[in-house]
Chain A
Amino acid sequence: MSTTDQVAPPVTGDAWKHAPDTVEAARANPDELQPHLELGLRDDEYERIKQILGRRPTQSELAMYSIMWSEHCSYKSSKVHLRQFSEKAPPSERMLAGIGENAGVVRISDTLAVTFKVESHNHPSYVEPYQGAATGVGGIVRDILAMGARPVAVMDPLRFGAADHPDTARVLPGVVAGVGGYGNCLGLPNIGGEVVFDPCYQGNPLVNALCLGVLPADRLQNKAAAGPGNVVVLLGAKTGRDGIGGVSVLASATFDDESQQRRPSVQVGDPFTEKLLIEACLELYDANLVVGIQDLGGAGLTCALTETAAAAGTGMRVWLERVPLREPSMEPHEILASESQERMLLIVTPERLDAVLQVAAKWGVLATAIGEVTPAQPDGQPGRLLITWNGYPVADVPPGSLADDGPVYARPMREPADLILLQADRAETLPRPATPEALRETLLRMIGSPNLCDKTWVTEQYDRYVLGNTVLAQPEDAGVIRIDERTNLGVALSVDGNGRYARLDPYTGAKLALAESYRNVIVTGAAPVAVTNCLNFGSPEDPGVMWQFAEAVRGLADGCAELGIPVTGGNVSFYNQTGAAAIHPTPVVGVLGVLEDVTQRVPMGFHRDGDVIIVLGETRAELSGSEWAWVTHGHLGGVPPQVDLAREKLLAGVLADAIKVGFISSAHDVSEGGIAQVLVESCLRRGVGARVALPPRFAVGAMPFLYLFSESAGRAVVAVPRGQEKAFTALCDERGLPWSAIGVVDATGGELEIRGQFTIGLDELRGAYSRTLPDLFGAAAATPTPVPVGAESEPVTELAAEPAAQETAPRDDGDG
């Protein structure tokens, strides 16, 4: 299966018939024409490669540079902006690994750390929805694994074109099945995400995948190929012709009519192999058998070899014919560029090689020694990466020139010319429903609209229970995972974005995405500690898009500084456009929070009769970019809601303290769809009604509409056990957080009443909320999701019992 024999095999006569382009040949024929433009390299980039090598590149080297210097791998257009994430980062004692690693690692206790990251797999998912989405999950899971962590949960923010467009009926079911098919088979609970529809994503859906992992803090792995003489081992699946050019051809170019024909550039996933790879790697880490490790993702072996060597400053000698192939006819440049899935690169000491091979054999995973680490050069310069294939030297390059020293561009930027007009076209001037009947009709229409409706059709195709540590999962505001069964330490995780807000103002839009994600985490009772992001944008060669990107990065970096939580990693996805039409700029932001005791988590649904419903924060006339403007008027214009991060922090502080003393029995963040959406979701979650009276100044004319559908940021709706509302509101007053008590939870009424406006039965609400996706994409099951009578009451009492037990102390304090 493998060999440590470091002597190159003799060149056979047969091999000469297919002689590859070698280093000697490159020297001998310096002027041979090469297809650098077809591979995505510009003329000046090609010249730079020649300068670095002192000759023209070989065919293999050209393939290596073209993928490593692609936008996807080199971040050449984004690097100058992304620096702000480090420069503006607030100090954090928790961060063990940050930007530049496979994923950021954050300490959550003396002994434990978590790692999380979100990545895009947009273009492949449009070309081949199932495999594109599946391998998106597989790729991010390997990033997490490479840090030394056991992957413990995934989330998938998904964006599609118009819900009723015929092509959405092709893309969405495939993407959802792919996310589920891969994640379910890996045994990773899917605990949250987004499903968003907008025509701007019609030709370019966004399939982002997030993974969370857990590790003992002292098991942190790194990718450096340290120690000359150490063995380079390729672990996992055989290498095939799938995914060649994935990063350069698919991910780093604008879509056009031919994109559909690029299926060979999409990788094909095998989750079973990945599951074995995970278990094998974890056993290797625990036995301390690995010096360095790197996953193989975009740019495959080329990326793993050059990054591991560059990180250590060492060189590497690789015998390419030792790479196990699915297709024996593969040529060296194909082996180097293949993006076959389920592979990892290990650096191990020669004495531990046998032990490594034994672990691999136990799990039935292929492991092959393909090279060795070589020293830095005598003058102290980093070593070189020398690759031979059947005795032919096909590449001889400085690894850093590929991994770190790619081109960097400060691309021209210009505010889009239409922005000033777009911002002047405010949604606040649109006609609004002014009668109770119109308001009732609006609410039913809104909760059934594609972006606000029930997403069960999607999420029930994902396993949320596996591993047995899922405390909260979608449709809750954030996913909550128990990390330590003995101490009940856990984390909360949310991921959010709003492309419409970012289109109207990318700086504020990025901050709003951060604020929403942050709010989703704090309403569960968790303390936010770190941020990841996936920045989905159009072509960086368009100055308008580049301006949007720069503004969004600036907004996110400023926002993180204001909130005091650092960005630990992320991903940039450019070229999300078909022809000249770019998607809305879509920064997707993930926030991770720590819950010292997950049994104290706060769910989103009303569940206890008589709880007082209180809105925290201020409601302003903010309708521009709102879901209402889009659904009822097809309108996008004006400026997005104001964002006040100091206020978000204040909200976090009040919620944290109130939750600790048992003041809060449920909490739900207010975002798209406004307070109306929150009330409906909070009622339907556990089938418990509510009676609401709007604050006096919002009670007449078109004001009730504004109160229910404005999307002002910085708000949450909480339910406070009766008897504790005075103590709770006193706490809000003391901290300066505006609040208004708007009603009570009514567990027996079975309806949502907005006094003086309308009353709607929960059955009617559920009907309007739940049928949209099954109607569009086919009934998910032979029968509707059961809401068993009697069964539903089980968890309700369960949840009610916990806070009740803790009630005594605060009640005694508050009410005397």
Chain B
Amino acid sequence: MRIGVVTFPGSLDDTDASRAVRIAGAEAVRLWHADKRLPMIDAVVLPGGFSYGDYLRCGAIARFAPIMDAVVDAARGGMPVLGICNGFQVLCEAHLLPGALTRNQHLRFRNHDQALRVENAAAWTNAYEPGQQVVIPVKHGEGCYVADERTLDELEATGRVAFRYLGGNPNGSRRDIAGITNEAGNVLGLMPHPEHAVEALTGPSTDGLGVFTSVLKHLAGAPS
């Protein structure tokens, strides 16, 4: 399996995401923001960081990067797409996911090990037990997930809330939402960083690995 990892100017966790892909057992393919087409790949990761400095609004400029047209097309065609932190922000800006990520309610950047509950079993979450509790780091200044009540109700009703914060909401997100999927289930955006929880040596746990093994499971089982 080949999983692409996009580097925008200002991407920071692209190396980490590539490492996580490798540890999960796939090949990581580095993608450049200025490329207009995707090479032969099976899935795409939009990594964390501050794309284009996150000036204007987080993810607002990256959404217009040349590679994003190809990513949006691929996502609509069913290719699994994962957006982590800044990548989640980009996915919302690109309208692949509903809602928006706003400034943390306490107004500070915050990095700590966060307890989460896995809430669904889609392309990027099927390797977890339903309701499994995991610990994965969060680190962001603008991770407060907001959407109108109808959208939130719909997300809940259709099983599209993928991760929920446990033991304290770190940013004021509506309904403790940490990550959501699109209708088809192939696109996941989440604020916590699963790529920082793939090695016992460097992470608070290895709970993040499940996100990457999920997609391999999904791809192996998916009809071609």
Contact = CB atoms under 8 A, between A and B. Distances in A.
A675 B173 CA distance: 42
A272 B166 contact: no
A276 B171 CA distance: 29
Nearest to A784: B168
Contact of B111 (A271, A461, A485, A794): A461
B205 A466 contact: no
Interface stretch (A99-107, A180-188, A500-508, A630-638): A180-188
B198 to A, nearest CB: 8
A464 B193 CA distance: 12
Interface in A780-801: 780-788, 790-791, 794-795, 798
A460 B110 CA distance: 5
A794 B205 contact: yes
Given A461-B110, A788-B135, A783 B16 contact: no
Interface in A573-609: 598-599
Contact of B16 (A185, A467, A782, A787): A467
A471 B106 contact: no
A185 B142 CA distance: 13
B15 A467 contact: yes
Nearest to B203: A465
A781 B12 contact: no
A788 B167 contact: yes
Contacts of A272: 9-10, 50, 52-55
A225 to B, nearest CB: 30
A794 B204 contact: yes
A779 B109 contact: no
Given A187-B13, A460-B110, A461-B109, A783 B170 contact: yes
Contacts of A599: 201
Contacts of B133: 788, 790-791
A363 B110 contact: no
Contacts of B19: 468, 485
Nearest to A488: B201
B202 A482 contact: yes
A461 B111 CA distance: 6
B172 interface: yes
A544 B53 CA distance: 47
B55 A187 contact: no
B50 to A, nearest CB: 5
Interface string A451-471: 000001000111111111111
A464 B109 CA distance: 12
B interface bracket (residues with beta carbon within 8 Å of A)? 35 or more
A364 interface: yes
B40 to A, nearest CB: 24
Contacts of B52: 272
A272 B199 CA distance: 29
Nearest to A275: B10
Contacts of B114: 786
A185 B108 contact: no
A778 B172 CA distance: 16
B109 A276 contact: no
Interface in B85-119: 104-106, 108-115
Contact of A783 (B111, B169, B193, B200): B169
A156 to B, nearest CB: 14
A476 interface: no
Contacts of A598: 201
Given A785-B168, A790-B133, A468 B202 contact: yes
A396 interface: no
Nearest to B134: A791
A60 to B, nearest CB: 33
Interface string B176-207: 00000000000000000101100111111101
Contacts of B110: 460-461, 780-781
Given A467-B16, A791-B133, A794-B135, A780 B9 contact: no
Nearest to A363: B9
A270 interface: yes
Chain A interface category by residue count: 35 or more
A786 B168 contact: yes
A276 B9 contact: yes
Given A187-B12, A782-B105, A465 B200 contact: no
Given A272-B52, A272-B55, A786-B167, A466 B109 contact: no
A763 to B, nearest CB: 15
Contacts of A467: 15-16
A180 B109 contact: yes
A795 B205 contact: yes
Contacts of B9: 272, 275-276, 363-364
Nearest to B16: A468
A791 B53 contact: no
A529 interface: no
Given A468-B195, A780-B110, A781-B106, A786 B115 contact: yes
A194 to B, nearest CB: 18
Nearest to A794: B205
A795 B106 contact: no
Contacts of A471: 201-202
B115 A779 contact: no
B137 interface: yes
A778 B110 CA distance: 14
A273 B52 CA distance: 9
B4 interface: no
B59 interface: no
A177 interface: yes
A460 B168 CA distance: 15
A460 B109 CA distance: 8
A470 B202 CA distance: 5
Contacts of B172: 782
A465 B109 CA distance: 14
Interface string A755-794: 0000000000000000000000011111111111011001
Contacts of A276: 9-10
B183 to A, nearest CB: 30
B139 interface: yes
B169 A465 contact: no
B193 A465 contact: yes
A473 to B, nearest CB: 10
B49 interface: yes
B128 to A, nearest CB: 15
A795 B168 CA distance: 20
B150 to A, nearest CB: 25
A181 B139 CA distance: 12
A788 B132 CA distance: 13
A184 B205 contact: no
B208 to A, nearest CB: 11
A465 B111 contact: yes
Contacts of B105: 782
A781 B168 contact: yes
Given A276-B9, A794-B135, A798-B200, A181 B168 contact: no
A177 B203 CA distance: 24
A184 B13 CA distance: 11
Nearest to B205: A794
Nearest to A791: B135
Contact of A270 (B12, B53, B200): B53
A249 B114 CA distance: 46
Contacts of A185: 10, 12, 50, 53-54
In the A-B complex, list the 7 residue pairs whose CB atoms are closest, starting with the nearest: A272-B53, A187-B12, A783-B168, A788-B115, A786-B167, A468-B16, A791-B135
21 contacts: A181-B109, A187-B12, A464-B139, A465-B137, A465-B202, A468-B15, A468-B196, A471-B202, A780-B108, A781-B106, A781-B170, A781-B171, A782-B172, A783-B170, A786-B112, A786-B114, A786-B166, A786-B168, A788-B115, A791-B134, A794-B135
Given A460-B110, A464-B139, 13 more contacts: A272-B55, A275-B10, A275-B50, A462-B111, A485-B19, A781-B106, A781-B171, A782-B170, A782-B171, A784-B168, A787-B167, A788-B115, A791-B135
